[in-house]
Amino acid sequence: MTNLAEELKHLKHHVNYRADRQQVVAACSNMMDVPAKDRDWFVKVLPEGNYRTADEVVSALLRKL
């Protein structure tokens, strides 16, 4: 599985939504199966906000590319 697939799976299954940025980052900071550089990017890029679904998190990240 690719890193992206692992990261998306984590967002879908390991974050309790409704979640704000801090809650999403906290849930994702332990993604030991994801390279540190990808975790660091995620923390740096994810904007402040309240997220209702994993899709909203992904959309917010894609807007930052």
14-27 per-position pLDDT tens digit: 899 999 999 999 88
Q: What percent of the chain has pLDDT over 70?
A: 95
What region does 19 belong to: left with phi over 0, alpha with psi -120 to 50, or beta?
Answer: beta
**Using N-to-C axis directions, what is the helix angle for 3-13 and 21-28, rounded to 10°?**
120
**Prediction pTM value:** 0.85
Domain boundaries, the chain: 3-63
